[in-house]
Structure 1
């Protein structure tokens, strides 16, 4: 099922067992922010970027190394070299996605990001492990993978936020490529560029969501009902500090930027603890100047 009908989706989702696959990735990869800079094309539809802000490439590299070191303590994490010609490549989850035995290449909106999918080293890495390639670049829909599509891997459910970086054709292409059981399509609020900034499903059992990031906040409420009581509702200010751009890479820990963690209220931290999660914050304020945060940096390997 792929639909805009939230009631039909909820009816199926409520009766879907968490037996689709592992709720968390078995490994991850990053792309080093070599020559860290702000991409002008990306800034055209990313309200979280300010081209007038000064960036410090050395500090971005240091923060990225800290992230790599921290993640590697939990699961195997590979880092591929970056390229100054592709300044947004440090957010590889938009271009590369995986399902068991499959590497999926997304159809990026901006030419500066389309070049990233040509990388022979990343594609060769997965080919050597026997992954088949599913290339979505030739199909007509724009689909920026797990930036646009938040996936509940335990149940095989997808949440596709539509906007400049994902349209209905692209959502359908991702639904098929990831082999999902059901995908709910909905419009993001004006000014939002990726779904994974306004919501995150944590290990299939908890939800972080900002209703203001949805064109219809009622959609956020319908999704929240599927994960109650383990739901953290974010304010627009918390969303702006990337509290929603978090990820569970194990059943007991939520990775989030330090800015995002600092934005959480005590009650929200308690709610995560009640759901069985400890916070694992990493300082990424320099990288966040590029309009993305921790979850955007992590490409999951299933």
Structure 2
């Protein structure tokens, strides 16, 4: 498939990681209210289930004509969240790659040289900007978890949290030519929602947004207007739907057009009217990932989109 404008927002190739030692990470539970402990489930049972869920998700995506670069993580470095690669790197049209600073020390070990080398070999990479050196200064920005990109209008929607530092966000926005649009959120306990991509998904012709989680009605309206001005239909999600990972979806370009990849749990919580509005633009592709969702992330977190031009 030739690289085109439509692929800028909805990539046709992705990176995924298949974990062999998956487990909900206790080091990230304090500020991730989406995470669930599983004391009654044996560790090996959890790991096997997550491994199988990734295997099946990759097969579904490849059947749709999406190119999946699958990497294995055998857990030898203590990386229970490795199934979520979108947090430590992102790619951008024009050949640009970013590597991010991570809030939890256990997650910093997820960064992989072989992934970056694959991108350089298979795609046209002009430069790689690495923000991981800011970690000793406690300045964190967790990739497309912390930011939701409108690649077409060059806007980085960002919910304030300890995983989205304003200093790093400003540096990133300058380097990558994005306008940051920042807002405050609160979960059911009044704490900031840890990642923007659990409450917001920007696709080519629509956006899913959990406005109920915004603490400022005025700011919510500004975000709504900005999305409408970009030509998108805004589909609102309730807090309950956000808790079911309905916002943690990603639009991809398959063989037969655009699809919206999301979890089965997220798909099931959408109203019929919401599904119909989405499918005017992108076909829904529900994936079964209940074990992985126990770690506080879902399908969007599992997929790092490749917004680069292929070499071949």
Q: Is 1:22 equivalent to 2:29 in the alignment?
A: no
Given candidates 81, 88, 110, the residue that maps to 1:88 is 81
- Which shows bigger deviation, 252-261 or 43-52? 43-52
SS of residue paired to 1:185: strand
* Mapped contact 1:255–1:281 kept (Cα < 8 A): yes
Map 1:129-168 → 2, pairs under 5 A: 129=122, 130-131=124-125, 132-139=127-134, 140=137, 141-168=139-166
* Mapped contact 1:86–1:115 kept (Cα < 8 A): yes
Counterpart residue number, 1:68: 58
Given candidates 270, 284, 293, the residue that maps to 2:289 is 284
Map 1:59-208 → 2, pairs under 5 A: 59-72=49-62, 73-84=64-75, 85-100=78-93, 101-117=95-111, 119-129=112-122, 130-131=124-125, 132-139=127-134, 140=137, 141-180=139-178, 182-189=179-186, 190-203=191-204, 205-208=205-208
Q: Is 1:48 equivalent to 2:34 in the alignment?
A: yes
Map 1:248-263 → 2, pairs under 5 A: 248-250=251-253, 252-263=258-269
> What is the CA–CA distance in structure 2 between the aligned matches of 1:165 and 1:214, rounded to whole Å?
17
Unpaired segments ≥5 residues, structure 1: 1-18
> CA shift at 1:176, angstroms?
2.8
* Mapped contact 2:10–2:252 kept (Cα < 8 A): yes
* Mapped contact 1:36–1:60 kept (Cα < 8 A): yes
> What is the CA–CA distance in structure 2 between the aligned matches of 1:239 and 1:160, rounded to whole Å?
16
Structure 1 length-normalised TM: 0.87
Deviations 1:38-71 (A, max 9, x none): 1111112111112245362211111111111112
Deviations 1:112-165 (A, max 9, x none): 011122x22112212334522210112353100100010011222111211111
CA-based RMSD: 1.9
Q: Is 1:230 equivalent to 2:228 in the alignment?
A: no
- Which shows bigger deviation, 207-216 or 190-199? 207-216
Structure 2 length-normalised TM: 0.84
> CA shift at 1:294, angstroms?
0.1
> CA shift at 1:21, angstroms?
7.6
Unpaired segments ≥5 residues, structure 2: 308-312
